[in-house]
Structure 1
Amino acid sequence: MHSDILVWFDDARRDLPWRDPEITGWHVLISEIMLQQTPVARVVDPWQEWVRRWPVPSAMAAEPAGEVLRAWGKLGYPRRALRLHDCAKVLAAQHDDRVPDDVDVLLGLPGVGDYTARAVACFAYGQAVPVVDTNVRRVIARAVHGQEQPGNPSRRDLADAEALLPRDDDGAPTAAAPIFSAALMELGALVCTARNPACEQCPIVDRCRWVARGRPSYSGPPRRTQKYEGTDRQARGKLLDVLRASSAPVERAALDIAWTRDPGQRDRALDSLLTDGLIEVTPAGLFALPGEYADAADQAVTD
């Protein structure tokens, strides 16, 4: 199984910019934060812009948080941008402007969870640690457990991925382990997709338990799904759009016209943005991106 997947990966792997062997752990960290719940195609251009603009953590740390939010644009889940800015400040101040290579140390950084810590350790530094995303969980569900979908995340996912790492005769992960982790992820992204999997192109189709069972439909507990249209999340995005497009603080009226379908929902969205630190209120009662206008004279932008 290992050799078949690795041979396939050698030929099929995408030429993604963050896979360049010359990039740093900081660049990989940026890519992993951006790729959370965001398709690869939407990340490539912003990632390239960010690594040119902020090649090291201290370059980002020197910017106000609002400017990082503005550069985040339409990537979604903007709290990720704030966490990355906080992380940059810690890396610059406490880690000599370098992203650590140890999973436990990485987990102590702002905004870095278990997946991100393992992904950076694996893909930036070649650590033999399992990396589990949605694609990996789906491949394991089908090939190992014979299920169409993996269901909701559980603690078993990491153990399953770790059990699949290639090992030597003494049971230690081999040098191919980090490459295999990337290959397993790529297999789920390109072949073993959620809808219309291309089983005829799969390098392990002969070993897949789901295929051997006749590709039965998923029958487990309902899977959590997320919608966007009409949600508080969409309302938050519309309000942030106003501030990202403005060169100065704005009056409340400029935010009110950005989301008119439900005033109560708009108020709720604004309150949550303030609570999350994505918007600040200036001394004059105007609204601004965080850190940009604390010492500047308030000037409303209403058009």
Structure 2
Amino acid sequence: MPSPAPASPVAPAPEALRAPVLAWFDEHARDLPWRASDRTPWGVLVSEVMLQQTPVVRVEPAWRSWMRAWPTPADLAAASTADVLRAWDRLGYPRRALRLQECARAIVDRHGGAVPETTAELLALPGVGAYTAAAVQAFAFGRRSVVLDTNVRRVLARTVSGAALPAPSQTAAETLLADAYVPDDDTTAARWAAASMELGALVCTARSPRCDACPVAPLCRWRALGKPSDEHAGRRRTQAWAGTDRQVRGRIMALLREAPGPVPAEAVDAVWPDTRQRERCLDGLVSDGLVTRTDADPPTYRLPH
């Protein structure tokens, strides 16, 4: 009689997974300024916007400079847009800087300059989506929320679902699963949000996970299943950089950030040889409110005031 097939490893219970991760975080958490005891809700919000698609090592010095210049929403709301874009420098996706200033103005106009605490009020702010609202509630106000960034998604995909990586797009089922692992009380829930995120960032990384250093390796379903390959690999898009519109836009923005005044068209033309691509990128930057083009002939370009 054939032997029965071995049982598939089961997902760890929420408390069994949380306890070692929280203990690991207490010992290994990075000393980041937006986690300091004197952090402000505004500082947390700024950090979350900056950290979107940008690594911590680049964000930390920019965040410190930003908070020295504009420590409150009112300070940023009153700043010139050109100064804001120059301070954003090479963090990438400069539209985030514009949205952050719009957010600061909304906080001043609607909430007297104080970052709001409720989900509805946070989601109503420019540039604040579900993730950012949840992160601000957890990290600024110590509230229970489902903070589900790419790092947390990866930790739960591996340990609980047994998958190499989460699906390319977040699903409702994934949110429900994450919610089941968030502790009920506010304080522990906020720590779990930070701890699970830190584990994904430092140990359970996308390309080279350090399973030997993982506090929950014995509980990990993906590891128990033999580390199966990514079932969504064919659906994932890799973003090139060289020759893309993003590169062209970045070069134009770098030129204008460094210029003390309006930049003549011939200087902008020298940034990129492909005329059609350069003009398309310029039109996009103007449309996005990141660049101002004069009506002169030939035109000049500058950062918005």
Output the TM-score relative to the length of structure 2: 0.91
Matched residue, 2:159: 143
Of 23, 27, 36, the residue aligned with 2:39 is 23
Equivalent position SS for 1:194: coil
Question: Number of residues paired by the alignment?
Answer: 285
Q: Distance in 1 between matches of 2:231 and 2:135?
A: 30
Structure 2: segments with no counterpart, 5+ residues: 1-16
In the TM superposition, 1:216-235 aligns within 5 A as: 216-220=228-232, 221-235=234-248
- Residues 79-123 of structure 1, C-alpha deviations (whole Å, 9 max, x = no match): 000000111111122211111111211000011111111111110
Equivalent in the alignment of 1:88: 104
Mapping of 1:49-60 within 5 angstroms? 49-60=65-76
Structure 2 residue 207 is the aligned partner of structure 1 residue 190: no
Q: 1:91, 1:97 within 8 Å by CA — same for their partners in 2?
A: yes
Match of 2:85 in 1: 69
Deviations 1:164-191 (A, max 9, x none): 1123xxxxx4530110011000000011
Q: 1:1-303, aligned counterparts within 5 Å?
A: 1-155=17-171, 156-167=173-184, 173=185, 175-220=187-232, 221-260=234-273, 262-284=274-296, 285-291=299-305
Higher alpha-carbon deviation: 266-275 or 173-182: 173-182
User: Is residue 143–residue 207 contact of structure 1 (8 Å, CA) maintained in 2?
Assistant: yes
Bigger relative contact order (CA 8 A; separation at least 6)? 2
Tell me if structure 1 keeps the 8 A contact 2:168–2:236: yes
For normalisation by structure 1, the TM-score amounts to 0.91
- Name the aligned partner's letter for residue 99 of structure 1: V
Q: Distance in 1 between matches of 2:80 and 2:69?
A: 14
- Give, in angstroms, the shift of residue 8 of structure 1: 0.6
The DSSP-based 3-state class of the residue aligned with 2:187 is: coil
Letter in 2 for 1:11: E
C-alpha deviation, 1:216, in angstroms: 1.2
C-alpha displacement of 1:22: 1.1
Query: Match for 1:124: what amino acid?
Result: A
Inter-CA distance 42–98: structure 2 relative to 1 (3 Å threshold) = same
The residue identity in structure 2 corresponding to 1:90 is: A
Residue identity (%): 49
In structure 2, what is the Cα distance between the partners aligned to 1:157 and 1:248? Answer: 49
Deviation at 1:196, TM superposition (A): 1.5
Q: State the Cα RMSD in Å.
A: 1.2
Shift of 1:246: 0.8
Where does the alignment leave 5 or more consecutive residues of structure 1 unmatched? 168-172, 292-303
